[in-house]
Structure 1
Amino acid sequence: MPNKKILLILHQAGSDPGRVGEVLRTLGYQLDIRIPAIGHSLPHDVREHAGAVIFGGPMSANDDHESFIRDEAKYVERVLREEVPFFGICLGAQIMARVLGAGVNLHPEGQMEIGYHLVQPTDQGADYFARDLHAYQWHKEGFDLPRGSVLLARGAAFPNQAYRYGKTAYGIQFHPEVTEAMSRKWLRKAAHMLVEPGAQSAEEQLADRFKHDGEMDKWCRNFLSHWTSLTQQEQEAHLPVR
């Protein structure tokens, strides 16, 4: 019986895996949601799950004083070592970048990306991005490209938008998981951030959502179909020899 359980790591009690969770359920996966920031433990055996996703959050991958950030980094180290499929979104991608020795930093001119921003595939990213993508963003830090990884997509203010490490680990800077309800919640709870350089107004974001969410939804479904196929391949590769 194949392992159909995916670990989802969130960062606040009210966090929601949104569209990513919905798509994974549609693909037949059971979701094991844990929030280390409020005391949930992480599995010792990374092969307890077919794959793992770390989502975004208001904290920084550089918050080494936070025990849950250290615990998540150690978990990612084990996941990468065991080649368990991994998907890092925003903070999750930044944690993986740090684990791989790359920096995570503020924009040198204080810019942020909040709202819809253009993400363009590299030549190596053509299999993952059929075309330019207007992706939903909410971040003030970006990641350097880890040594040995492959850049899949780039942006203007934050050049590194998506990368692959090895055959089974991916990190992206943007947020495909955000549903309309989540977007409205973020805009309400973090309204104070909309005055920051690079932030689009709530009205702009909701209008752009109407224009661009269809392509964001299609990208998310296509990517997760590919990523979950890797979970099946990895399980088959580790079947005992008869």
Structure 2
Amino acid sequence: MLDDPHRRRDRQPVLIVLHQERSSPGRVGQMLIEKGFPLDIRRPVLGDRLPATLEAHSGAVVFGGPMSANDPDPFIRTETDWLAVPLKENKPYLGICLGAQMLVRHLGGKVEPEPEGRVEIGWYPIRPTEHGRLLMRCWPKMVYHFHREGFDLPQGCQLLAEGDVYRNQAIRYGDNAWGLQFHAELTRAMMQRWVVHGAHRFIMPNAQQGRDHLEGRMIFDAPLKAWLSESLDLVFIKANHFA
């Protein structure tokens, strides 16, 4: 049995790192709670400190934000350097968009725009690699993006899924560090907010219009949601030996 409900009360919290005052862990947070993990939410950009060790945590999730992993802001450097903690302790780490780009920067890789200035804002196809297919059986064909930079593949990383405009879409480093360029965490309410507040980006090359974001959700979101649940089992439940 993958997940014994009777053992859930013993689970340590997952550290949740957000980058705006009103940011939410969305359905990543909802699913982790459903799977028995309390959430320890911190916002370093607002002054919250990150723990010196993850001994009291089941792992960490670092989410996205409108900033770049290349920005000079002190909290960007602090978070990027802090990733030494989960990597050294071999604790589960999941980086989403900015969180993945921070992982790449920490590992010595580059984060930069696509050479022609194209973005991924909306729904775009991905394809699992052989490594990805071996790890997970049900990859979605379309995923949701909201980014204007991508990352290369640092030494020691495995590529799990690739795309057309930005090749590196999902990566794994070591046993327990994972990075996603796309967003599976958005609830419908979150997507509606992103479409409203991010509308000025829809004129960028390769961006989709807001109506396509919401219409695409009706078509593509169910497989993405199912994949997210399986991914969280892989990252946090199997890694913490709860099976």
Q: TM-score range, shorter-chain basis?
A: over 0.9
Find the partner of 1:155 among 163, 171, 179: 163
Aligned length, in residue pairs: 234
Secondary structure of 2:206's match?
Answer: coil
Secondary structure of 1:48's match?
Answer: coil
> Where does structure 1 lack aligned partners over 5 or more consecutive residues?
237-242
Per the alignment, residue 189 of structure 1 pairs with 197
Is the 2:52–2:85 contact (alpha carbons within 8 Å) kept by the matching residues of 1?
A: no
Question: Is 1:117 aligned to residue 124 of structure 2?
Answer: yes
Is the 2:12–2:56 contact (alpha carbons within 8 Å) kept by the matching residues of 1?
A: no
Question: Is 1:106 aligned to residue 133 of structure 2?
Answer: no
Give the letter for the 1:94 counterpart.
Answer: Q
Per the alignment, residue 203 of structure 1 pairs with 211
User: 1:60-139 to 2 correspondence within 5 Å?
Assistant: 60-63=68-71, 65-126=72-133, 127-128=135-136, 130-139=138-147
RMSD between aligned residues: 1.5
What is the rounded CA distance, in whole Å, between the counterparts of 2:33 and 2:182 in structure 1?
Answer: 21
> Where does structure 2 lack aligned partners over 5 or more consecutive residues?
1-8
Identity of aligned residues (%): 42
What is the rounded CA distance, in whole Å, between the counterparts of 2:137 and 2:184 in structure 1?
Answer: 13
Is the 2:69–2:105 contact (alpha carbons within 8 Å) kept by the matching residues of 1?
A: yes
Deviation at 1:129, TM superposition (A): 5.1
What is the rounded CA distance, in whole Å, between the counterparts of 1:176 and 1:129 in structure 2?
Answer: 17
Is the 2:163–2:169 contact (alpha carbons within 8 Å) kept by the matching residues of 1?
A: yes
Give the letter for the 1:66 counterpart.
Answer: D
Post-superposition Cα deviations, 1:105-144, rounded to whole Å, max 9, x if no partner, equal 0110000000010010001100225345210000000010
Is the 1:8–1:52 contact (alpha carbons within 8 Å) kept by the matching residues of 2?
A: yes
What is the rounded CA distance, in whole Å, between the counterparts of 2:137 and 2:116 in structure 1?
Answer: 28
Is the 1:85–1:230 contact (alpha carbons within 8 Å) kept by the matching residues of 2?
A: no
Per the alignment, residue 38 of structure 1 pairs with 46
Q: Indicate how the Cα distance of structure 1 residues 27 and 150 shifts in structure 2: closer, same or farther if over 3 A, else same.
A: same
Q: Indicate how the Cα distance of structure 1 residues 159 and 129 shifts in structure 2: closer, same or farther if over 3 A, else same.
A: farther
